[in-house]
Amino acid sequence: SQKIEQNSEALNIQEGKTATLTCNYTNYSPAYLQWYRQDPGRGPVFLLLIRENEKEKRKERLKVTFDTTLKQSLFHITASQPADSATYLCALDTSGGSYIPTFGRGTSLIVHP
Partner 1 sequence: DGGITQSPKYLFRKEGQNVTLSCEQNLNHDAMYWYRQDPGQGLRLIYYSQIVNDFQKGDIAEGYSVSREKKESFPLTVTSAQKNPTAFYLCASRASGAYEQYFGPGTRLTVT
Which residues are near partner 1 by CB under 8 A? 4, 8, 32, 34, 41-46, 49, 89, 91, 93, 99-106
Smallest separation, CB 29 to partner 1 (Å)? 16
Distance CA 96, CA 22 (A): 22
How far apart are the C-alpha atoms of 3 and 105, rounded to whole Å?
11
Tell the smallest beta-carbon distance from residue 51 to partner 1 (Å).
9
Instruction: Please count the other Cβ atoms lying within 10 Å of the Cβ belonging to residue 47.
Output: 17
Min dist CB 15 to partner 1, Å, is 27
| Cα distance between residue 58 and residue 48, in whole Å | 8
Residue with smaller CB distance to partner 1, 27 or 42: 42
